[in-house]
Amino acid sequence: MSEPFPSARVPPFSQSSGPWRSAGIWLGLGIGGFFDGIVLHQILQWHHLVSEVYPPSTLQNLKINTLADGLFHAANWVFTLIGLALLWRGTRGTHPPRPTSAFVGALLFGWGVFNVLEGTISHQVLGLHHVRPGPHQLAYDLGFLAWGAVMLVAGWLWMRAGGQSERR
């Protein structure tokens, strides 16, 4: 009888792992966006989504920023729903147990994707806002990108390690 998971190296993103890995990445995107919106936009009030284009110094500009933040949160909600749907799909049927570390890695990877894309596009390319405007704003922006890069790498390594232990 053949072994269900041969010891030969299989790429870390095998088809059997697809739904739960994708779920973790989508959930990580949503969590990263919610963290950014809730902590940086609302609690710390460092910026809003379009605060460089529409400084929230007037009521009208604050309304524009609040609407943009709301649309941003709606997108994060959709990312989270996609992740939950994929997670549900990944739990259906028969399959070996998935390692928790690999799923946490997928969450970190998704959050890192969010930080790197949002930090590059919104902060640097489009200049819609900065992590914390004012003195040292470039340091905050680069720190945000570095934090995202660390999560990307750590998440990738955890997904690979979990995917390999899944096949042993």
The reported pLDDT for the residue numbered 11 is: 40
pLDDT digits (tens, 9 = 90+) for 24-70: 999 999 999 999 999 999 999 999 999 999 999 999 999 999 999 99
- pLDDT of 13 reads 42
**Residues lower than pLDDT 50 in the chain:** 1-15
Instruction: Classify residue 60: in a domain, yes or no.
Output: yes
CA–CA dist 54, 82 (Å, integer): 31
Look up tokens 């007037």; give the residue. Answer: 58
At 50, list the tokens: 């379009």
Number of domains in the chain: 1
Of 102, 160, 96, 148, nearest to 121 (Cα)?
Answer: 148
Range of the domain at 75: 18-91+99-166
Asked, for residue 12, whether it belongs to a domain, the answer is no
Please compute, for residue 107, the number of CA atoms within 13 A of its CA located in the half-sphere on the CB side: 11
Structural domain contains residue 13: no
pTM: 0.78
Does residue 3 belong to any structural domain of this protein? no
Residue 30 located in a structural domain: yes
Q: What is the chain's Cα-based Rg? A: 19
Any domain includes 7 = no
